[in-house]
Amino acid sequence: MSARWQTSRSATMALPAAMRRWLAPLSMLILLTLMLAVGAAHAQATQPAPALPALSPADQQRADKLAHGLRCLVCQNQTLAESNAPLAHDMRNLIHAQLAEGRSDAQIMLFFEERYGDFVRYDPPFKPITWLLWLGPFALLALGFWVLVRTLKRRAVARAPLTADERARAARFLDTGP
């Protein structure tokens, strides 16, 4: 017998008799539960989605426009129209269903803003809570320009002409060489 088998067998034998009696049925019960859970999840995932009512060509264009104006919350750098994430698919279905109900574009956008916040819009509105978002890049650009101008002025001051002593010292240094 191998040492590995003897070690595992001796560890099993060290268990009390009552535990050994219930170990195999308990393991089987856990395995069966896991198999049923995986099977149920698979069955739920493979069920077809309910069919959405057909939209007119004008409503389909509105749906595309709305999908391009909303951000995918999973991808965050893609619109709903560009994203393949399951959440984006669900959000496109919501747009489709709301258009079929006869809601306006503004009502649909308001629905998504109330549900997910202003971040869901690809072009967030200009209001006090989003001022930093809109004005932040310009403020950083102005700050960078100010730092550049200040640095260039300091360099101009630092490059004052050499005095006679400094020229003589530099000449002596250059003449002596290493």
pLDDT in tens, 61-73: 998 999 999 988 8
Instruction: Select the more confidently predicted residue: 9 or 156.
Output: 156
Is pLDDT of 112 > 70?
yes
**Per-residue pLDDT reduced to its tens digit, 42-60:** 666 555 556 667 778 888 8
Tokens representing 10 are 């001796």
Choose among 116, 110, 103, 101: nearest CA to 52.
Answer: 101
- When computed from its CA atoms, the radius of gyration of the chain, rounded to whole angstroms, is 35
The confidence score (pLDDT) of residue 1 equals: 52
- What is the per-residue pLDDT across 153-174, written as a single tens digit (0 to 9) for each? 888 776 678 889 988 988 888 8
Query: How many whole angstroms from its chain centre is CA 164?
Result: 63
